Structure 1
Amino acid sequence: MAGKLFGIGVGPGDPELLTVKAINAIKQLDVIIAPKTEKKDGSVALNIASQYIKPETEIVYQVFPMTVGFAEDDTAWQSNKQEILELLQAGKNVGFLTLGDPMFYSTYIYVFRLLQHEAVEIETIPGIPAFCAIGSATNTPIVEGDSILSIIPANMPEDRVRSALKTCDNAVLMKVYKNSDAVIDMLAEEGLAKQAVLASRCGLDDEVIIRDISGEKGRKLNYLSTILTRR
């Protein structure tokens, strides 16, 4: 009998923010897939979930190239897919851990698409996205009343970021680490800088909260950095 694949959101960083359902799923896994990039050792998602993992659970690290999709070269993705399939066909329950929520800007989405048409059972377990945790940690309302929330990946071309900021009531800016200076300038131009709060590694031991984002110009931000703002 084939095993089951679980896509598990482990939340933003604090192990206590995993859902009960996520913890229960982790405890029944035979194998955990821990995604990592080519440049870094270890897995943040695995570290967050570590206290809930059984000692006998096998940990399999898989490298996923940080590219937009995988149309040009899917060699690594296909290799990872095959490894997961073999584990499932061996009757093992396999969990794929992901930061935040599995269906929100996640590597898991691509893994799910590769496997969804195979003869395997898949269950996706939601997690708390970082921006929700940041709102609570800083007592910052994310959106209320009849306002509209825009979620903006700040690594898009600047003209698209600028266009999104011009029309938003409230905004969450993800992936601000690559072009933070330009993002801070755009927020100032649109009158969105003074109300902004920036959080890096929210929920982790080295969490940083910044309420004056203008002072962050010229500084390198952590990959796990997000800005909340509103008009």
Structure 2
Amino acid sequence: MSGIFYGIGVGPGDPELLTVKAINAIKEVDIIIAPKTEKKEDSVALSIARPYLRDDVEIVKQVFPMVVNFEKSPEAWENNKNEILALLKAGKKIAFLTLGDPMFYSTYIYVFRLLENEGYPIETIPGIPAFCAIGSKLGYPLVEGNDILTIIPATAEEAKVKQAIAVSDNVVLMKVYKNFSEIVDCLTENQLTDKAVMISRCGLPEEEIIHDLEKAKDKKVNYLSTILSRRR
């Protein structure tokens, strides 16, 4: 019997924001793959999905290096791939959990590329991205009318980030933890701080909402932090 591989988006943090399809798949699988970084023992994605796990499901934690391209650290990725393939060969149903949406700035994208030509069925189940959850939580429309929304990873090249902010109507800034102060300065220069808001760990117990970014610009920011801003 051939195994099947599911990529499941668990949303931003609140377990109630998982889709029915995601919950049904989680309840059906034999094995849960819980990705984590080298520095942390726990998987945030796993903690979100935990209310829906069967008691007898097997949990496999895999470490994925935080690199821009998985080709730069092939050993860890190949080891994880081979472990997954061995389980699929044994006929196991496997769910790979990922924060937000699987096809949106996700580790799952790299895993999908490693497995897509290996001959096993893959089903990707979408999840709610953090910025959508933030907009709904705060009553903050992301775009209206003919507004253009720009989604910017703050970890991109500085010149590209500044250029994108300068020409955008509305912006979503992801991964602002490394250069938060510089990002705030750039938003201020472009008259985008007045209506800006940042949420860290949206939907999780340690959630924090910051409206005055300029006052908080020297703050150490959590990895799971997102800024929304608009010109009008």
Q: TM-score range by the shorter chain?
A: over 0.9
* Residue number in structure 2 paired with 1:164: 164
Any idea what SS the aligned residue of 1:215 has? coil
Kindly state the Cα deviation for residue 73 of structure 1 after the two structures are TM-superposed: 2.8
* Residue number in structure 2 paired with 1:140: 140
Q: How does 1:1-231 map to 2 (within 5 A)?
A: 1-231=1-231
Kindly state the Cα deviation for residue 72 of structure 1 after the two structures are TM-superposed: 2.6
Any idea what SS the aligned residue of 1:146 has? coil
Kindly state the Cα deviation for residue 157 of structure 1 after the two structures are TM-superposed: 1.9
Question: Given residue 10 of structure 1, which amino acid in structure 2 is its aligned partner?
Answer: V
Kindly state the Cα deviation for residue 129 of structure 1 after the two structures are TM-superposed: 0.2
Taking a change above 3 Å as real, the CA distance of residues 84 and 142 of structure 1, as seen in their structure-2 partners, is same
Any idea what SS the aligned residue of 1:71 has? helix
Any idea what SS the aligned residue of 1:48 has? helix
Q: Tell me the C-alpha RMSD between the 2 structures.
A: 0.6
Runs of at least 4 residues off by over 6 Å:
none
Deviations 1:24-52 (A, max 9, x none): 00000100000000011110000000010
Contact 2:200 2:209 in 1 (8 A): yes
Number of residue pairs the alignment of both structures matches:
231
Could you tell me how far apart the structure 1 residues matched to 2:101 and 2:151 are?
14
Contact 2:65 2:73 in 1 (8 A): no
Any idea what SS the aligned residue of 2:91 has? coil
Could you tell me how far apart the structure 1 residues matched to 2:72 and 2:111 are?
16
Could you tell me how far apart the structure 1 residues matched to 2:72 and 2:35 are?
20
Any idea what SS the aligned residue of 2:173 has? strand
Kindly state the Cα deviation for residue 203 of structure 1 after the two structures are TM-superposed: 0.5
Normalized against structure 2, the TM-score is what?
Answer: 0.98
User: Please, which moves more after superposition, 8-17 or 151-160?
Assistant: 151-160
Kindly state the Cα deviation for residue 180 of structure 1 after the two structures are TM-superposed: 0.1
Any idea what SS the aligned residue of 2:35 has? strand
Any idea what SS the aligned residue of 1:182 has? helix
Normalized against structure 1, the TM-score is what?
Answer: 0.99
Question: Given residue 70 of structure 2, which amino acid in structure 1 is its aligned partner?
Answer: F
Any idea what SS the aligned residue of 1:213 has? coil
